[in-house]
Structure 1
């Protein structure tokens, strides 16, 4: 391999605009992809950091464990605190068990019934389960597992996933437990990356070698996470990896043996091609319902009111076979605009707002 100079990204926020942060991340990813096709390509460019991982698919997830191995192999200090059982679709719910012990076996029978409701994997003291929702697992990790059992109390980064299945658009984002675990960390002032892939569920012990969907999802996820780390501001002690209150939502298209190391990565926005549910009655069981994607697409979930409206929607990007990287914030306040000022003016007699 010819000698290559690493790119220098001028990401010293707050002087740089926020979109530049993601732009530098994508540049670093392209550089890493050029260096090597598989996994640990950027390990030499940054020191290891402290990472907390979680998900909503459970602590036995093949996707989760494969990414865990890649991050540890790159020199990072990684702990997992993930649900004892499948917890998809929980969003940001913080549901804490009232049972001191598991009433049934954990996912894949990795831990038997009667074991404590929180504890380490029998084979790896850095992997913990908790019998709660994904957001609750993040909090248990931050406030119990790391301070008491790890050699660091506050992680530099929280990584959730890769999820089984994508989490695309604003509506699905609010439903996703993988997203909920990430934005819980961001609300706690810790940078977070939510990762979602397009592969099916598989137990970690059924993943053998690199010729598997779980490994491919983890390898592409690793490229993103490592690019975020390597493009962070250097020489500023205590500077967060991402700006305060910001995180990343990353969605990965279907991957194949011949394309996963070269899959393109694009900066995206949540809106644009995004789905929202519609209710569909179940004829065979009167009074019951299921869901379907609303058609035509709803304008409300696709209205761009903040961020860079010229970016492609993450739903459309993934449909085109690209990895979508969307920047999110925890501040839900509407930005100042003609529309928002008009609404505030209408309420001024009640609120005293003076404009």
Structure 2
């Protein structure tokens, strides 16, 4: 009885009624045929949204924000899971669903191809309300992965193009096709790929329901990094419905340590936690780090980020700026000249103060 009730609760959570349907562009770095993106696509459409996938023809994990476009008009080899044969166009539609597209490029390149080619030419240049990436096979936790994850790279590319974006990553790291999704499991619960997609759909619907009609889902330059834990439904129900926790990217996050093997003469990486990778400079330092939240229990993390890398306010940056002077001037000469010219024109035209433009 417990399993049946739990299954019903999880299934119902994905179909939270939305105040209005939105237009969604989907991508990932695991490829257009991966189990989790296809389940996410299916559940978003079931929620009433207008959804389009443009994702890599093959696995492009770890590409970060690299925008690499193919030099070949056709696929040199079969696409992932042999869904599209070699010799097919490097950009094309899935053989079964015309709203699922593949492109032989990196995740960021797929975002740009979608926005600049597929949508204008094949979808009447319809507007996109939200970009979603993933859910990735494996988590992307902490500042270190922010710059390396292809899931994040495709999302970041969309945000830079004025489209709000959410990057989803899940703790189940098995790479598998959407053609292999268990209808039933030993636990009696849905496949982990389905549950990861259900969790992502629930969060999207939460954002939509919290947004007034015809308003942006998030402000310009903002996005979310969402990580969910390893879902155990293949064998048991110990972690199948993790609660979402607001987090920050830093705090307990790892970077790489190069480890040399004297026997093989080769290197491999191990995880290393450093102060430099986890110091809290911006944002709410009271929030927990997303890495310990997801790695140490059945919890999902949601971190708000922006694409603004600019140096923050505070004494640390002031000391750096002071050290750069007088070689590097602490002012903007062009802006200073512009303000002086504005003042000169106002004096000439005798513009009254109440009509002045705020500077």
Q: 2:314 aligns with which of 337, 340, 352?
A: 337
Match of residue 222 from structure 1: 201
**2:18 and 2:208 in contact (8 A); partners too:** no
Q: 1:172 aligns with which of 145, 151, 161?
A: 145
Deviates more, 1:49-58 or 1:142-151: 142-151
Check if 1:205 corresponds to 2:183.
no
Check if 1:138 corresponds to 2:117.
no
**1:164 and 1:197 in contact (8 A); partners too:** yes
Q: Secondary structure at the match of 1:206?
A: coil
**TM-score, normalization by structure 2:** 0.84
User: Does the C-alpha gap of structure 1 residues 86 and 241 become closer, same or farther in structure 2, counting only changes over 3 Å?
Assistant: same
Stretches of 4+ moved more than 4 A in 1? 39-43
Shift of 1:153: 3.0
CA distance in 2, matches of 1:45, 1:128: 26
Instruction: State which structure, 1 or 2, has the greater radius of gyration over its C-alpha atoms.
Output: 2
Number of equivalent positions: 316
Check if 1:117 corresponds to 2:90.
yes
Match of residue 356 from structure 2: none
Q: CA RMSD in A?
A: 1.8
Match of residue 55 from structure 2: 82
Shift of 1:350: 1.9
Q: Secondary structure at the match of 2:111?
A: helix
**Unmatched 5+ stretches in structure 2:** 1-5, 184-188, 333-359
CA distance in 2, matches of 1:250, 1:136: 22
Check if 1:301 corresponds to 2:280.
no
CA distance in 2, matches of 1:60, 1:283: 40
CA distance in 1, matches of 2:277, 2:28: 25
Residues 258-291 of structure 1 show CA distances to partners (whole Å, capped at 9, x for unaligned) of 36664111100001110000111233332x3221
CA distance in 1, matches of 2:263, 2:148: 27
Match of residue 249 from structure 1: 225
CA distance in 1, matches of 2:171, 2:268: 22
Q: 1:316 aligns with which of 292, 297, 301?
A: 292
CA distance in 2, matches of 1:203, 1:216: 16
Q: Secondary structure at the match of 1:182?
A: helix
Q: Secondary structure at the match of 2:147?
A: helix
User: Does the C-alpha gap of structure 1 residues 264 and 44 become closer, same or farther in structure 2, counting only changes over 3 Å?
Assistant: closer
CA distance in 2, matches of 1:114, 1:182: 29
Q: Secondary structure at the match of 1:111?
A: coil
CA distance in 1, matches of 2:136, 2:22: 22
CA distance in 2, matches of 1:354, 1:100: 49
**2:14 and 2:201 in contact (8 A); partners too:** no
**Unmatched 5+ stretches in structure 1:** 1-32
Q: Secondary structure at the match of 1:44?
A: coil
